[in-house]
Amino acid sequence: MSNSEFQKVIVRPLDEYNQRLVSYVHPPYWVNPRPVDCYDLVVIGAGTAGLVVAAGAAGLGLGLKVALIEKHLMGGDCLNVGCVPSKCVIRSARVVGEMWNARDFGVNITQHIDVDFPAVMERMRKLRAGISHHDSAERFQKLGVDVFLGNASFASNDTVLVGDKTLNFKKAVIATGARAARLSIPGIEEADYLTNETVFSLTQRPQRLAVIGGGPIGCELAQAFRRLGCEVVLFHRGSHILNKEDADAAEIVQNVFIQEGIRLVLNCQMQRVEKTIEGKKLYFSCNGREDSVTVDEILAGAGRVPNVEGLNLETVGVEYDQQRGVMVNDYLQTTNPRIYAAGDICMNWKFTHAADAAARIVIKNTLFSPFGLGRYKLSNLVMPWVTYTDPEIAHVGMYEQEAQEKGIDVNTIKIPFSSVDRAIADGEEDGFVKILHKKGSDQILGATIVARHAGEMISEVTTAIVHKIGLSKMSSVIHPYPTQAEAIKKAADAYRRTLLTPKTKRFLGLLIKFS
C-alpha cells in the first residue's frame, strides 16, 4: 500500500507538537510492508491492548510473525485523547486548586490567579508528543512487528484485508477499542459539542461550559476546567455524581465540587439544545421543574460505544452487539475459536491497565495453551481503578452491596484521614480508607480510598488481595511515618483489635503474670 492509499490523519491545532505526534503514531509517508506468507498473530487496533499483544508476542525472541493494523492513531485513546492528555490538564488544574487553598497554609496569594489556558493546552500537547514515540510505528517495526496503516476487515476465516494487501493468519486479535457515544438530545448535533476526543484540541478557554454526565470522565474534566477558569454546570441523571462509586466517597467529591463553584444539576433530563446568538442554550427538567442555561461549549462525558463497524465480523462468525461490543468467553475467545479480543471492544473494564492485563491473557491463550490447556481467565483478574478528581477515588475488589448479593457476610473498617497525622499536616482530612473483609476472617474483599493521591495507595491493597495477604499480616507491615498510607496500617490494626475478645484478654493476662 502506498502512502496515498490510507487516510492521512490531522490532529488540531497544527502546531509543532501535534505534527510530531502524528509523525510517530500515523506517519504520513508510511509505506505498508509486504505481507509474509502467514502470520502467527494479526492484531487489529493499536491501542493499549493491541500494542501489548503485538510487542509481547514479537518480543519473545521466538521468531513469531506478528502484524499490527491501525486505521487512525497508534496509542489509541490513552495516548491521544484519554489518560495522557487528561492527566496533563488535571495536573495544571491541581496547581490552581493548591493556590485557592494557599491561605489555609499561611501563604497569601496577593495577585489574581492568571490561568494561561493556551499555555496549559500547549504544555499538554508538548508532553503528549514527547511520550508518543513509545507507541510509534517505527518503534514497533524495530521490534519485529509488521505495521499496517489502514482499514482492516476480515475476508475469510484466516485472512484480513488492509487496502490492497491480504494478510493470512493462524490467530487474530480484535482490539479496536471504543469511542465516545453520540448524544441523542434534540438539536445537539446542530449546536455541536465536544467529547474527550475533541476537547483536547481547544486552544482558547470557553467561558461557560456545560458537562453532560456525572461519571468519571465528566467529573474529572468538569473540575479541571472549573479550576482553569470556566464557569461549569454539570448535568447528571442520578441523585448524586459518581453514583457507581461508594456513596460516602462520592459525597466527599460532590461537596468539593460545590465548594469550588461547579453548578450541579442532578436528577436531570435533557430536553433539547438550541444554537442562539448568546451561545448554546440547553433546556432541561430537574425534579419536575423545567429550566435552561446558555453556555459557550458543551462537553459530553457520558457513555462509550465499541468500534465494531467495518470489520466484517459476520463473515468469520464473530458475534457482537452494538452496545456491548464483541462477545468473548472468560478466555477472551470470540465465537470464532481462532479469533480473540481484548480491551474496550469486549470488556466492561474500560481502563488502560485493564486492556494491558487482558492483552497478556491473550498472548498466553493464543500462543501457549495447546488444546486449551493452561489458559488464563479474565475473571481471575483483581482490577483496581481510579477516578482522578481532587481528591481521587480509588477502588479495588467488591463493594458491600456486591458481597451481600453473593451471600457473603462482611465487616467494614473505615479510617478517616482526620485521624492520620500526615493528612492533618497536609490539610487533606476529607477522605478515608475503607476496607471490606469477610466476617470472621481477615480476608480482604475490597477497598475504597478517598485521598489526593488515592491512586498511588490502592496498589498495596490490590497486592494483598492478589496474594491472599490478610489484614493480620498487613498489620505487621511497617509504614514510614508520617505518610497518608499509614491509614491502611491503621485499618489492619483496627482488625487486630477485634481479636481481643474477653477470652483472649484473660489468656494475655496469664502470660503477663508468668513473664
Annotated binding site for FAD: 87, 344
Tell me the binding residues.
Answer: 87, 213-220, 303, 344
Cell of 79: 495516548
Biggest alpha carbon distance in the chain? Answer: 88
**C-alpha span between 336 and 157 (Å, rounded):** 8
Q: Are 124 and 15 in contact (CB under 8 A)?
A: no
**C-alpha span between 266 and 378 (Å, rounded):** 35
**C-alpha span between 271 and 130 (Å, rounded):** 42
Three-state DSSP class for residue 65 = coil
For strand 159-162 and strand 289-295, is the pairing parallel, antiparallel, or unpaired?
A: unpaired
Kindly provide the residue ranges of all beta strands, DSSP E only, lying in 358-441, ordered along the sequence. Answer: 385-387, 392-397, 410-416, 432-438
Across 56-88, b (16+ Cβ under 10 Å) vs e yields bbbeeeeebbbbbbbbbbbbbbbbbbbbbbbeb
CB neighbour list of residue 238: distance below 8 Å, 6 or more residues apart? 214, 266, 267
Tell me the binding residues for NAD(+).
Answer: 213-220, 303
Q: Are 77 and 177 in contact (CB under 8 A)?
A: yes
| Phi, psi dihedral angles at 28 (to 5 degrees) | -65, -20
* β-pair partners for 68: 43, 147
